[in-house]
Amino acid sequence: MPANFDALANAIEQSEKDLLSRWIAALTAVGATRSGQTSDKDLKDACGRFLKELRRALQNGASEDIASEQWQDARDVLEEISAARALRGYSPVETALFVFSLKEPLFDLLRQTLAREKHMADVLVASGALLDRLGLFTTEVYQKSREEVIKRQQDELLELSTPVIQLWDKILALPLIGTLDSARTQIVMENLLQTIVDAGAEIAIIDITGVPAVDTLVAQHLIKTVAAARLMGADCIISGIRPQIAQTIVHLGLDLQVVSKATMADALSLALKKTGQKVERLAARG
Amino acid sequence: MDKIPILKVGKCLLVTIQIDMHDRLAMALQDDLTNAIVTSRAKGVLIDVSALEIVDSFIGRMLSNIASASRVLDAVTIVVGMRPHVAITLVELGVQLSGIQTARNVDKGLETISRLIEQSESTDAYGDD
Amino acid sequence: MLTETIETVPIRSSEDIVRVRQKVRFQAGAMGMSLIDQTKFITAASEIARNTFEYGGGGELVMETLRDGARRGLRLTFLDEGPGIADIEQAMRDHFTTGGGLGLGLGGAKRLVNEFDIESRPGEGTRISLIRWK
């Protein structure tokens, strides 16, 4: 096996420049550069670095096991390239093509240099298998990077979707909109409780008009939030419980043990009363 | 052994827990407070937990016990300043502290406590008629 | 999964339970756990440490850092050679207590961590491990 890679390493070393330009041409031909998304210079730079690390790994006697120590630098280059492509919105195919496009020019080169050698076929097979592994490695990294992007977007969305509003002096409102899952409800809960401290609030109105469904878990989260707020010395009022949700709650046999009001307006008027505040119509306007 | 100081302010006993208490210290505080309610004829107990980073079931039980004992001795107990992460953890742990009054901070707590004392005194006065 | 033992903390007195809380706080903080996760983990550790001290007749805590791919976590293993627990299922239930407590220790601690594992045999002691992932 190492003998096959020696031949490969020698071939790359002898015509590295030529191979590089053919590889870039191949990449451009299959559209893997995504018309301008990656500049020619960046592409050339990336290809050049990978080719160099590929050659060095082979010269250091690396085996076909690309997880081994000798492949570290080459893997680093591929990781960087795949991650960058994942962030820029390349497809997995476009990312994998980075390595796979090297096959054709490399095989051409091997055919020329090893034309009279008996083991040419072996070298070609071994090289093909190696490039397949490296190509799959890029898709794996790509996948991981995409997952990170999705995770980060989810986190951002979670923060965006749970605004706590200062409605009045000492009164906060938390309008919940959309489906509540465990992760989101937990963030909502922490966010609300922290804001109660920061704003010195006494009452928080949790409005669930925009929540399409309430299951046992969500109801439990709501109950926990109310209980935690109470421990901190603040009261909660739940408003906007729609008829279907009220029925679900009864059907699930849940006892919310919470003050609830039909609308946010009702909840606000109760909150004002509880905090000793009043809103009046100006007499002169009548 | 350390001791948690108990201050008397008007008709109220004021306790600020500022250290991570070990269990014997918590038990000692419970005893000291119950004794102090009797000797000082206090009508209210205010416990400030705003400096506490955690409240586990043991401290939770201590707070409940203090509240129950003071109720028997005709005093109201109020716990103030619990921080959000402590409150969430307690709820998750299953500690409800039902029967304990709470308030956001010492100011609000004193306000609530004097209102409660007034209420109980006026019902007493009504009962005397 | 890679594990690395950080230190072993003896649990012989009620002051040691406070020390357990402080050590766990330090490690959880160093790992960058959020305040709420730290608090949950420290509280769970406090419950189990008390269990080790009160019912296990004392023992020790072994703290380990875990690394599983990109995930990092903290594992606390509480060991004692006390009387052991005959009926684990019953002991895990809320409001079950043999002492004078609220009986929320084991079940409550389980709700505060990501992974909870208990092994116990009457007469041979108890081993409880808690894991919180970052």
**Whether the Cβ atoms of residue C5 and residue C31 lie closer than 8 Å to each other:** no
Q: Quick check: A196 and A204 in contact, CB under 8 A? A: yes
Alpha carbon distance, N-terminus to C-terminus of chain A:
96
Coil, helix or strand for B81?
coil
In terms of pLDDT, which residue wins out, A252 or C95? Answer: A252
pLDDT at B129 > cutoff 50: no
Q: How many domains does chain B have?
A: 1
Domain contains B79: yes
Residue C103 has pLDDT above 60, yes or no: no
Predicted confidence (pLDDT) at residue A35 exceeds the cutoff of 60: no
Which residues are bridge partners to B77 per DSSP? Answer: B45
Q: Is B26 inside any structural domain?
A: yes
Chain B closest-CA separation from residue A178 CA (Å): 23
pLDDT of residue A1: 45
Pairwise CA distance, residues B109 & A234, whole Å:
12
Give the pLDDT band (50/70/90) at residue C112.
very high
**Residue B77, pLDDT score:** 95
Would you call B62 an interface residue with chain C, using a CB distance cutoff of 8 Å? Answer: no
* DSSP string of chain C, one letter each residue: -EEEEEEEEEE-SHHHHHHHHHHHHHHHHHHT--HHHHHHHHHHHHHHHHHHHHTSSSEEEEEEEEEETTEEEEEEEEEE-SS--S-HHHHHSTT--SSSS-S-HHHHHHHTSSEEEEEEETTTEEEEEEEEE-
| A145 phi-psi bin (left φ>0, alpha ψ -120 to 50, beta other) | alpha
The pLDDT of A158-179, averaged and rounded, is 85
Q: Is the dihedral of CA A161, A167, A172, A173 positive or negative?
A: negative
Least CA distance to B82: which residue of chain A? A232
Length of chain A: 286
Chain centroid to Cα A166, Å, comes to: 31
| A32, pLDDT greater than 50 | yes
Nearest one of B84, B80, B93 to B44, comparing CA atoms: B80
- What per-residue confidence (pLDDT) applies to B106? 94
Distance CA B44, CA B13 (A): 6
Residue position matching structure tokens 């052991």: C84
Question: Which chain A residue has the Cα nearest residue B89?
Answer: A228
User: B57 in helix, strand or coil?
Assistant: helix
Q: Which of A50, A54, A51 is nearest to A64 (CA)?
A: A54
Lowest mean pLDDT of A226-230, C11-15, C103-107, name the range.
C103-107
Distance CA B123, CA A134 (A): 83
Give residue B127's pLDDT band: very low, low, confident or very high (50, 70, 90): low
Contact B21 C18 (CB under 8 A): yes
List all chains that touch chain C, counting a touch as 3 or more CB pairs closer than 8 Å. Answer: B
Amino acid A232: pLDDT: 95
Q: Under a CB-based contact definition with an 8 Å cutoff, are residues B26 and B59 in contact?
A: yes
Is a pLDDT exceeding 50 seen at residue A24? Answer: yes
Which among A67, A42, A47, A45 has a CA at the least distance from the CA of A57? A67
Does B39 map to a domain? yes
Q: Are A154 and A163 in contact (CB under 8 A)?
A: no
Mean pLDDT of the region C52-57: 91
What lies within 8 Å, CB to CB, of A134 at 6+ separation is: A54, A66, A74, A78, A99
Q: Which of B79, B80, B91 sits opposite A228 (nearest CB)?
A: B91
pLDDT higher than threshold 70 for residue A3: no
Q: pLDDT digit string (tens) for B45-60?
A: 999 999 999 999 999 9
Helix and strand element counts for chain A (H, E): 11, 5
Query: How many C-beta atoms lie closer than 10 Å to residue C39's C-beta?
Result: 26
Q: Which CATH superfamily is C2-133 part of?
A: Histidine kinase-like ATPase, C-terminal domain (3.30.565.10)
Mean pLDDT of A17-30: 88
Q: What is the pLDDT of residue A116?
A: 82
Query: Which backbone phi and psi does B81 adopt, to 5 degrees?
Result: 80, 20
- For residue A98, pLDDT over 80 is answered with yes
Q: Does C98 score more than 70 pLDDT?
A: no
Determine the residue among C26, C39, C53, C110 to mutate to test chain B binding: the one whose Cβ has the most chain B Cβ atoms within 10 Å.
C39
β-strands A203-210, B6-9 pairing: unpaired
Segments making up each domain of chain C, as ranges = 2-133
Region of C78 on the Ramachandran plot (φ > 0 left; ψ -120 to 50 alpha; else beta): beta
Which residues partner with A203 through β-bridges? A171, A235
Q: How confident is the model at residue C104 (pLDDT cuts 50, 70, 90)?
A: low
Structural domains of chain A, ranges and CATH numbers in brackets: 2-156 (1.10.490), 165-285 (3.30.750.24)
Chains linked to B by 3 or more Cβ pairs within 8 Å? A, C
> B80 in a domain, yes or no?
yes
Chain A neighbors of B77, CB-CB under 8 A: none
| pLDDT value at A37 more than 70 | no
Q: Among C126, C20, C17, which residue's Cα sits nearest to residue C81?
A: C126
Decide if B60 touches C, using CB distance below 8 A.
Answer: yes
Per-residue confidence band for B126, with pLDDT thresholds at 50, 70 and 90: low
Task: Count CB neighbours of C36 within 10 A.
Answer: 19
Task: Write out the residue range of the structural domain in which residue B57 sits.
Answer: 6-128
A162 has pLDDT over 80: no
- Cβ-based interface (< 8 Å): residues of B facing A: 79-88, 90-92, 96-97, 102-105, 108-109
Chain C contact set for B56 (CB, 8 A): 43, 46-47, 50
- Dist. CA B69–CA B100, nearest whole Å: 12
The dihedrals phi and psi of A252, each to the nearest 5 degrees, come to -75, -5
CA distance C53 to chain B (A): 11
Query: Between A and B, how many CB-CB pairs are < 8 A?
Result: 54
CATH number at residue B65: 3.30.750.24
Asked whether the beta carbons of residue C14 and residue B24 sit closer than 8 angstroms, the reply is yes
Of chain C, the end-to-end C-alpha distance in Å amounts to 15
The DSSP call for residue A174 is: E
pLDDT of residue A178: 82
Q: Per residue in A223-257, pLDDT tens?
A: 889 999 999 999 999 999 888 888 887 887 777 67
Residue C101 confidence (pLDDT) above 60: no
